[in-house]
Structure 1
């Protein structure tokens, strides 16, 4: 007699191979669904890791072997008299002063404008002024390698400059060529003496002598940072305490670790959200595995029953179905790992290391193998496939062998009503999770809420299907095919829910993402309309440390055709050592208010310095209208009061606006880096722009960008679409997986009902009526699934809009529904479901129908 173990092994090989040989398409869809989820998750992880590694290498180049760094919180720098005071602190072996400026080379190009070979348009870089002798002790990576016949003393030549290989490539230059740089409101010409051999690929860096940097770019008596090397055996904590006691206002103490934390914070929310979206595809794949396995189990119920009668225990049957899922998971995970590396390589070459998000512009990432990540995402794929197979396996094991030997299909009494309570509990838990705060500034509970809502929505399908179909099932419908279809769906809710599972999962996720992106884009567009009320805008690149002076401002204001011009001074401001900089903006106030889209405000006592903060700054620093905080301005920390909060989609990490008069009084800086221009009646835009450009100082004219609101809006939305390119791709893949799941589900379900269809054919239902019945069933299931998925997706979209996005990116938005896209999605699902069911029906009805029911005679 055959042992149960041997019987189980033999039956497993026989049933698995036979099932996949008979229905290869269904198995391939399940494998592909898992593969796509694993591939997307791994690709996003690899690209993000490569980008952060590239950024870390860039930090290492700039920091060299410096142990600590004293840095100005603004590009204006600090008094160089602090340098000798710091050098006298015990425990410091060497100290390297640095002038650090944002610079540009050549004529500035508009964002998105393509450059030809050898053109210098739009090349932005970091310009460092160093003391070569001191840098040799602290940051030797910043020392240039003379090339092209330059002597060893080229580094001390006031006209010499060393640049990274990335700058040479972007500018189409070689050693010995001339390069024009603009920084801090000044433009100067240099000769390329050599390269920075230690600079990372893609790092845009240029180095000149520190005295030359101070003299030529208006930084006399100013430094932006000091790099420190500690003495051997020095007590690091004691040195840090001594330095902190001497730090003047507007100066902070940091290290390479702080810069790394700043880089991580820069893109962390974007990276986590992309990773979550990638895992959503894997979750959808799990639902498709569940759907495919459930239908496969239903079709083979008599075979399983026969094995039970022959002695195979229930646990053996469970193991067999789970092994099928495990094989699907293994194949999907293996394929996904290969696809993931290919996608990562393509993404880095096409979108860059920031995946279109703009966080690591100019950095060139290097893709590396990551065995730990591969093992992790491969295991996720296996786990999803096994879990998706476990529920159908348990269902097969619970079936009564005697009853199952006589038929397939629904094993639940159609008179029983599905219980919605577990689904309602899951939905309630999802709602509660959406109310919880972020964890480590990430919306982890928000994503948990989405997962719970998705699980609850899918679990509710049997009850919802009966509820929606009950009014139709209580009356006779015409034609007869429609009546048969409705009664079949209403009487077999559990089997219908299997088909609906994949539809609802993929549809709801598609709808949620589509509504979120559409809402964000519409909110950004409306914000741009409110934020750009003037006729023309002027922006100057490379003016963080200095811009248009008062004399030049007066010349611009007197240009013919200019009715009013409002100047703005923008610069980055560090408020926290491990957070990205906020933007400080000094603007002209009108009736005591900035021209901003304010969301809230509060009265401010007279005699206090008022500021207006953006939404992200309020989130990140816990500020609200009426609160006070210290703002580092000039050489002191100034107490200010928050007068209002405004909506800002341009700066994710915060911005603060102060009146220009207050800023000039507190800092002595009356320069400007931007301007908003209102034209006089009947003035022509292009002639006025030409006159304004001519009125700029010669050193700044080449760095000027002029824009009109319409073209600036179009440019901003183009950048928005580019940033969300990966999101659009993930959404498209979700749609593809969903439609594939619909096709596989209905095909498998129809083929599993051959005997049922044969019986109907035997009692007189025509072939044409059966095909129409199947088409109506498919359309009905597609419509129910689309309606349920649409409703669930709209709820999940609110979680994305009002929980995930504010907790991730610290801004709010208004809901906007893409009605056209949602309508097309519903029509496509219904059409795909009806068409697939009809095509599968043609195949099922093409054989000998009489033979299918002979066992029931």
Structure 2
């Protein structure tokens, strides 16, 4: 155990390099742990909500967002397989005069208790109310029952009045009681189903039926008996299916954020490698002495690995603790969806998961061991006799890296990019990114050697010395540039990917928002509709040249998968209004054309020209795929068809949105006010396309806020890596600096020499990082994002920003090298070379 103090003492002596590696591992583990903890909390909260809503139901009948015919309820309730059935109609509305949204569940008070008792309403006795009136409160058309959490959020209590929108009309409801079975943090609202159907214009419609099967009947047998009774587009699902769909929906976003955290962790591993490699250089005499007095090669290798493992373990433990603190902050700031919109409205509770925490601790230890592996192997191969005679930094002089292994890893990335998704995740793309990054690090000494060969050996003395130094010891520049390359590659890759996606989204918004004004019934997708009478009044508003209406619905073409968005709006036969990907396919006369998003193309395999069956109005309707369009708003897929075709096939005349084109010279503000006045009571919202674009891009920036933090951290880590590397190298080169002082070089010139060497080392890392980062960006754009989110984007490189970033980083690296070497330059020149006398 005495050897332990020798190696622990080494970590203490090189505090800067050790703390840098420690900080990088803390950062990677903390970010990964935070993303995992936040998403786990959100999924757990989402699952608890679903279990509350499902209650004792064994199966649920689900359909499109607009619902299905309630006659199905009677047919299913009469089946011998069904013990109890509870109809549900869910609508979304908002409070008048505020932006508070409210999901109202319309339930049958006589059926809900047997299936979902947590949703059973309890009327609250109010002074002055007759006893008979209290018993019938649950059936009153204006009675609303709120859970305790909903009453707190809306600042109401039993007996208060609550005004909401019913379609485009105001509706006043009375808070008649509470939901004692609801969890404390669940915001729920319940009304009698007949009242909801009447007030919200959904007569004869249901959105769900909860089924409790007879005792002893298993679910597969019941499904086989009941599914033939269902109309097209309506499916039977187990209550847990929605939880799994939500998890899958957010998984790609979660995994991509975790990948970014892993990139920080990998950067930490490279910094451990850099610190350990420099430690081997500084201690090569000490390590050779240990070998000479009997320490076996394998023992030395294991002890050096233990140093890296200790740094990784301590960093991981601190990272897990910091990650939970960061998760708490993210929940407060961005919510359970981290700004992505998957779990909007939830208030998750953070919980400690020992298994996930243990996994991240192991990842941190693995990063430390991986970073220490090659330096430990090189140290174990040191010949004691030669090392005892050599200078401090000679171990790096002939280091040429592992170019064959590096080249193999980089070449391996090419076929990995062609792999299809595995478990619906782009694992091939992730492995390709790791191969590129690891391979480039192993290739870095060869790059440094190649750059050294083209440097001129003329000019001022510091320039010649710096060039000669890099030629003689390319390994020195490679080790110093390791952290820079990893950090720059991460920054460049994310900058190109985010810039490409942001520019593509901006162009896409311009294509899908060509009108002068946009109108919708209510805010926040409240589910309001524009009836035919209101549609006619909107078209007659002075200043309006043309109105194009849009209907939003959802379909379930495949059971067990999330609903697909359906948009019906005026579309020309060639689809010129849409942001098409590729060319359109001509649809024969007499057939109905649909336009599918890239996600639907990937998930369902539909292609232009295919003839598919679409569940509309309870029937299978044959349609023809006319083309593919970009849709950045709906990850699960969407399809669009002409509004006239939709109305012909379904008979539904309602819409939710309208695109308003104004007559030339009309004042947009005046027309907007006139349009809102046609709905009355603020039921209509009118927005300019510029405002929609600004809001959308603001949401985009919020979604990628975590990536910006990672980029900044990567830059700081890269610069700190240069400083730590040159501090170690400057200390190792104390005799060289002493000799240069004896030969007449001033401290200023030695400082200039270090600045040049820092610039050269950082330049090598920046050059490699720009190249590798560009390749990683291509993988992120063409492989990871396409397989994760099913959208394409146009490549957009922020050249000016990257050039400014590269130049600034090189300048800061020079400054960091000078500041790191000041201690060695202050050393007395005579004392520095006394060992050579």
Q: TM-score range by the shorter chain?
A: over 0.9
- 579, 587, 595: which one aligns with 1:612: 595
Q: Which residue of 2 aligns with 1:140?
A: 117
In 2, the alpha carbon distance for the partners of 1:838 and 1:416 equals: 24
In 1, the alpha carbon distance for the partners of 2:732 and 2:465 equals: 17
Q: Which residue of 2 aligns with 1:651?
A: 634
Contact preservation (8 Å) 1:33, 1:285? yes
Q: State how 1:263-662 maps to structure 2 within 5 Å.
A: 263-411=246-394, 420-472=403-455, 475-541=456-522, 547-590=529-572, 593=575, 595-600=577-582, 601-662=584-645
Number of positions where the alignment pairs a residue of Structure 1 with one of Structure 2: 829
1:364-414 alpha-carbon deviations (Å, 9 max, x no partner) = 101001111111100110111012112111111111111211234454696
Q: State how 1:818-833 maps to structure 2 within 5 Å.
A: 818-833=798-813
Secondary structure of 1:742's aligned partner = helix
Q: Which residue of 2 aligns with 1:35?
A: 26
Contact preservation (8 Å) 2:398, 2:475? no
Farther off after superposition, 163-172 or 811-820:
163-172
1:604-635 alpha-carbon deviations (Å, 9 max, x no partner) = 12211110111111112111111122111112
Q: State how 1:222-261 maps to structure 2 within 5 Å.
A: 222-261=205-244
Deviation, 1:742, is 2.2
Farther off after superposition, 375-384 or 600-609:
600-609
1:125-147 alpha-carbon deviations (Å, 9 max, x no partner) = 32111111210000111112334
Deviation, 1:581, is 2.1
In 2, the alpha carbon distance for the partners of 1:333 and 1:645 equals: 46
Deviation, 1:77, is 2.1
In 2, the alpha carbon distance for the partners of 1:194 and 1:770 equals: 81
Deviation, 1:526, is 1.0
In 1, the alpha carbon distance for the partners of 2:669 and 2:185 equals: 36
In 1, the alpha carbon distance for the partners of 2:799 and 2:366 equals: 37
Contact preservation (8 Å) 1:201, 1:363? no
Change (3 A) 1:807 1:360: same
Secondary structure of 1:715's aligned partner = helix
Contact preservation (8 Å) 1:434, 1:445? yes
Q: Which residue of 2 aligns with 1:785?
A: 765
Structure 1 unmatched runs, 5+: 1-8, 108-120
2:104 matches 1:127: yes
2:143 matches 1:169: no
1:547-597 alpha-carbon deviations (Å, 9 max, x no partner) = 212222111111110111111111232333433222211111346646211
Secondary structure of 1:598's aligned partner = coil
Secondary structure of 1:65's aligned partner = coil
In 2, the alpha carbon distance for the partners of 1:148 and 1:42 equals: 48
Change (3 A) 1:362 1:592: same
Q: Which residue of 2 aligns with 1:100?
A: 90
In 2, the alpha carbon distance for the partners of 1:302 and 1:204 equals: 68
Secondary structure of 1:845's aligned partner = helix
2:201 matches 1:221: no
Secondary structure of 1:48's aligned partner = helix
Tell me how large the CA RMSD over aligned residues is. 2.0
Q: State how 1:692-711 maps to structure 2 within 5 Å.
A: 692-696=675-679, 698=680, 702-711=682-691
TM-score by length of 1: 0.93
Contact preservation (8 Å) 2:719, 2:816? no
Change (3 A) 1:627 1:849: same
Contact preservation (8 Å) 2:599, 2:791? yes
Contact preservation (8 Å) 1:539, 1:674? yes
In 2, the alpha carbon distance for the partners of 1:415 and 1:179 equals: 79
Deviation, 1:771, is 1.7
Secondary structure of 2:606's aligned partner = coil
Secondary structure of 2:566's aligned partner = strand
Deviation, 1:84, is 2.0
Farther off after superposition, 405-414 or 307-316:
405-414
In 1, the alpha carbon distance for the partners of 2:555 and 2:179 equals: 28
TM-score by length of 2: 0.96
Q: Which residue of 2 aligns with 1:110?
A: none
Q: Which residue of 1 aligns with 2:59?
A: 68
Contact preservation (8 Å) 1:76, 1:546? no
In 1, the alpha carbon distance for the partners of 2:188 and 2:256 equals: 31
Q: Which residue of 2 aligns with 1:744?
A: 724
Deviation, 1:356, is 1.0
Contact preservation (8 Å) 2:401, 2:442? no
In 2, the alpha carbon distance for the partners of 1:300 and 1:799 equals: 40
Structure 2 unmatched runs, 5+: none
